[in-house]
Structure 1
Amino acid sequence: MLIFEIVVVINAALALVTVFREKRDIAATWAWMLVLVLLPVVGFVAYAFIGRKLPKGRMFRLQHQVAVQLNERLSQQREQLGTEIMPADKISHSVINMVNMFMETDQAFLARQNRVKIFTDGHDLFHTMMEDIERAHSSIHIEFYTFYNDKIGNEILNLLVKKAAAGVEVRVIYDPWGSMGTWKRFFKPLMDVGGHVEPFLGTRSAVIDFRLNFRDHRKIVTIDGQVGYVGGFNIGDQYLGRKEKFGYWRDTHLRIVGSGVFSLQARFMLDWNATDKDHPFNDRKIDTRYFPLSKVKGNTSLQIVSSGPDSDLQQIKMGYMRLIQTAEKSLWIQTPYLIPDDSVLDSLRIAAMAGIDVRIMIPDKPDHAFVYRATQYYARQLADDGVKIYYYHNGFIHAKTIVVDGRIASVGSANMDYRSFKLNFEINAFIYDEGIARELEGIFEKDMAHSELITPEKFDQQSLYLKFKQTASRLLSPIL
């Protein structure tokens, strides 16, 4: 008995030292304390792999150089296309403040006159993306959380091999955790013909440096520096509805043509140089062929914003909060994971209580049990505050979209949860175009035809056991 008590005291002391020696928010601190105290040994093993913070000293050293040269190219781009008033010049003062915020926190310039196409079906997306890759003549840069060794994965790999063999520069970054089951030897045919492939930040330091908890959740494709893709889809058969567990996969992705691709290209280059030290992009002079001037005159102004554990600013979360605070009439959100921190939760509650039409659409099935139960917990709480909660029934909804007043919107990789705000490397497009915003509203309304409004009364009918699982999962929400 005495030995047991000594072990408990030592474990608690070690837990205190372990958790409080690193600066983190209080919610995550107490969540880890709960794990370490209640799960001796096992909790410390989990912390060793997924609890430690990310060292930032060697991350993304090209940030300043890329920003300076991008500003030069942007000035040239504006001169080429002219200076006529664009929709983003006529937006409200509050949105201009958001544009300025992103410029300040993420050096995210306002890219004007883009052409943007929205994809909600994987078959359409990959068909178009592969056509663009087929037409590439200079460079193909791909970064995905998931790149599976399955049918669509092999189709894209074979196309990349073909293009690399023809002399096109091909570089691929994949997340080793998100692409679990895909080993680097899968990419050997591409590397054999001159392509370059790397797991994000490498794998040799996965435990000591990278830390398994910090994942490259970004989805970036740039082709010849002229065409770019960003959104929620990954590369895998399940994203084409080929997995019975999920059924039809409903996601949202963007194809961008115009100066908005500059930021996607820059983000890829920063991530590449943090990952591959053997074949880096030049850190003194960025080759302008990666940032060709566009002759496109589209209607869409946007900012590409990235965030991750290499910064404490949580830029995308700040953008989400600004969107919520900007709403005057409607705020429609689609997210597979709804685990907001207190600041975002309060913003959503305030919006609903102020009479704004707040709607949130989530899946009706889990892909991660704990995460889904926590999502249900917050959905129930928000429903009590007047938010309309919809369960999507036609397969699995994985879209990460926000539309405000049919005026402005966000589409990208970041979910409405702690992990996307603080732990993952994410990227979103913030769009200032009523045409795109209205189109996203129309997509939301179509999805409502396949969804069910879950009222507070329906939440109350859930079993006590289900409510217990939701509450228990919520306790771990800061570290899920």
Structure 2
Amino acid sequence: MNVFLDNFWWVLLSVNFLIVFITAGYELMHFREPVKSISLIFALFVLPVIGLLVYYFFAQEFRKSKLFNRKKLYDQKIIQHWEDKLILKDQDLIDLDQDCIAQKIKLVHLLQNNQKKPVTFKNKASVLINGENKFSALFNDIKKAQHHIHIEYYIFNSGRIGNRLILLLCEKAEEGVKIRVSYDYVASRLSSKAVKKMKSCGIEIFPFMPVWFPNLTRKLNYRNHRKMAIIDGNIGFIGGINICDEYVNFEENPKEKLFWRDTHLRIEGHAVKSLQAQFLLNFNFISGKELKVEDEFFPKIDIPQRTAVQIAASGPDTDWQNIMEAILTAINTADKYIYITTPYFIPNNQILTALCMASRIGVEVKIIIPEKGDSVIARYATNSYIEKLLESGVQVFHYHKGMVHAKTMVVDGVLTSIGSCNLDNRSFDINFEINAFLYDKEVAEEMTEVYKNDLKETTKLTIEEWMQRPALEKIREALARLWAPLL
């Protein structure tokens, strides 16, 4: 025993590196993305003990192989029940104008083959700029709900906006409207009082994958990053705006409050059926029971508007990186321009290469990112990619009015993407995300004007000025870049 105690640290290091070698071998044999594997193996060897903890909490995929297999069972079991209700065989869609579809037909086929997600034409889409407009529309639609309200958010906080929503939901529940709520356990700050209040009103509310010490595991793998709502099966909301006061620019807020620039989408029509399906699958998973699918969840919809919309959902339970592949296809098939807004730009090699190639081919590529953002390490990681973008002719803009949190893309005046997915590894490969892809010239024109207005609040970066940034900044970027695949 004395010998052991005298050599405790050497024994600990020996055990650590034995486990590290075994873990590194396991990592290599699973053929993951080389850059991510190198980052993980680097952390394992350079940071004794800490490296193993990082690997366990941020890179392990045992939950993906076990927990989400259970979710897949739910998917397979109930998918037949509602698949026919998703208008996959609706003959009314055949004779509609499909000009925008024809231009982006590869993307349409990709999502159909990946997820069996139909492109739907009987939709009315309304772009909602910033939280104040989003919540005004959402609250108005909730007040008119007759049968059910489904809420699924990454952040659902108690606060001015959250409490208003809870009060409204309770009022509707008392009227007999069935309400189901899903919130991410790690990201949300719902008080126990608020949860009890909703449950006492008859609202079914469940957290997504509770963990120990949520304050210490904010970046823990497999969070539900989606922000969506479905009302009566015919109105849906999707985008980047969470249920949180931070996302709303109240008129009476003090001037020092950070301005929050975000984008959401209100959809009325057949595309809501795809949103509904995703909600039901996740709700079954988190509630541990199989929700009976009612006809009212997928009502008959007949509206005059003809906006083409296709929903893409991705997560650790999907066979393919659906949203990433859709964005990559949109970039690779662009002919004129690509306008991107994202709060976190930490791309994988495929997206980075595609953007640089598109620019060198002659496609106008513009990217708006926050000047400062809300994460220091993410900002430095993002900055590490800017030099290559600028060298390839990609135009990069720093948004300086406040925090730009919108996750949008406009391509060639015919395609628009609005959703929850950031251009980073966490959104592409780890989190549950959902985006709407709209094939419509009017929506694309509107979003192009929104983009031009946002550019007025930006500073364009130049390669000459960027290369002159301090050496210390470059060192910080290099260090942050090592952790990029884990962010």
Q: Work out whether the TM-score is over 0.5.
A: yes
Describe how 1:352-371 pairs up with structure 2 within 5 A.
352-371=359-378
Q: Which residue of 140, 153, 177 maps to 1:168?
A: 177
Q: 2:404, 2:73 → 1: CA distance? A: 36
Label 1:304 to 1:236 Cα distance change in 2 as closer, same or farther (>3 A): same
Q: Is structure 2 residue 93 aligned with structure 1 residue 97?
A: no
Counterpart of 1:221 in structure 2 is: 229
Q: Is structure 2 residue 18 aligned with structure 1 residue 13?
A: yes
- 1:395-419 Cα distance to aligned partner (Å, 9 max, x none): 1100111111111111100001111
User: 106-115 or 57-66: which moved more?
Assistant: 57-66
Asked if the contact 1:222/1:228 (under 8 Å) is kept, the reply is: yes
Label 1:312 to 1:215 Cα distance change in 2 as closer, same or farther (>3 A): same
* Letter aligned with residue 130 of structure 1: F
Counterpart of 2:128 in structure 1 is: 119
SS at match of 2:397: strand
Asked if the contact 1:406/1:437 (under 8 Å) is kept, the reply is: yes
SS at match of 2:124: strand
Q: 2:270, 2:77 → 1: CA distance? A: 18
- 1:245-277 Cα distance to aligned partner (Å, 9 max, x none): 861111111000000100000000000001002
SS at match of 1:255: strand
Please report the RMSD computed on the Cα atoms of aligned residues, expressed in angstroms: 2.4
Asked if the contact 1:222/1:229 (under 8 Å) is kept, the reply is: yes
Q: Which residue of 240, 253, 265 maps to 2:248?
A: 240
Q: 2:255, 2:44 → 1: CA distance? A: 37
Q: Which residue of 46, 56, 67 maps to 1:48?
A: 56
Counterpart of 2:316 in structure 1 is: 309
Asked if the contact 2:230/2:275 (under 8 Å) is kept, the reply is: yes
Q: Is structure 2 residue 58 aligned with structure 1 residue 58?
A: no
Counterpart of 1:36 in structure 2 is: 44
* CA drift at 1:328: 0.5
Label 1:175 to 1:243 Cα distance change in 2 as closer, same or farther (>3 A): farther
Q: 1:171, 1:276 → 2: CA distance? A: 10
SS at match of 2:125: strand
Counterpart of 1:263 in structure 2 is: 274
Asked if the contact 1:157/1:190 (under 8 Å) is kept, the reply is: yes
* Letter aligned with residue 233 of structure 1: I
Give the % identical residues.
33
- Normalised by the length of structure 1, the TM-score is 0.92
Counterpart of 2:3 in structure 1 is: none
* Letter aligned with residue 46 of structure 2: L
* CA drift at 1:185: 4.2
* CA drift at 1:383: 1.2
Asked if the contact 1:407/1:432 (under 8 Å) is kept, the reply is: yes
Q: 2:337, 2:296 → 1: CA distance? A: 42
Q: 2:254, 2:76 → 1: CA distance? A: 43
Asked if the contact 1:157/1:187 (under 8 Å) is kept, the reply is: no
Q: 2:7, 2:363 → 1: CA distance? A: 59
SS at match of 1:59: helix
* Letter aligned with residue 448 of structure 1: L
Label 1:184 to 1:213 Cα distance change in 2 as closer, same or farther (>3 A): farther
Q: Is structure 2 residue 297 aligned with structure 1 residue 290?
A: yes
SS at match of 2:71: coil
* CA drift at 1:340: 0.6
* Letter aligned with residue 359 of structure 2: A
Q: 2:75, 2:455 → 1: CA distance? A: 41
Label 1:296 to 1:85 Cα distance change in 2 as closer, same or farther (>3 A): same
Q: Which residue of 463, 469, 478 maps to 1:462?
A: 469
User: 22-31 or 431-440: which moved more?
Assistant: 22-31
Q: 1:238, 1:85 → 2: CA distance? A: 45
Describe how 1:373-412 pairs up with structure 2 within 5 A.
373-412=380-419
Q: Is structure 2 residue 198 aligned with structure 1 residue 190?
A: yes
Asked if the contact 1:20/1:29 (under 8 Å) is kept, the reply is: no
SS at match of 1:163: helix
Q: 1:222, 1:92 → 2: CA distance? A: 26
Counterpart of 1:199 in structure 2 is: 207
SS at match of 1:358: strand
Counterpart of 1:154 in structure 2 is: 163
Where does the alignment leave 5 or more consecutive residues of structure 1 unmatched? Answer: none
Q: 1:68, 1:193 → 2: CA distance? A: 32
Asked if the contact 1:113/1:301 (under 8 Å) is kept, the reply is: yes
Q: Which residue of 421, 440, 448 maps to 1:441?
A: 448
Q: 2:205, 2:26 → 1: CA distance? A: 36
Where does the alignment leave 5 or more consecutive residues of structure 2 unmatched? Answer: 1-5
Q: 2:94, 2:319 → 1: CA distance? A: 37
Q: 1:3, 1:71 → 2: CA distance? A: 60
Asked if the contact 1:304/1:427 (under 8 Å) is kept, the reply is: yes
User: 47-56 or 188-197: which moved more?
Assistant: 47-56
Q: 2:48, 2:125 → 1: CA distance? A: 51
User: 170-179 or 30-39: which moved more?
Assistant: 30-39
- Normalised by the length of structure 2, the TM-score is 0.91
Q: Which residue of 401, 419, 422 maps to 1:415?
A: 422
- 1:63-84 Cα distance to aligned partner (Å, 9 max, x none): 34554444422449946xx446
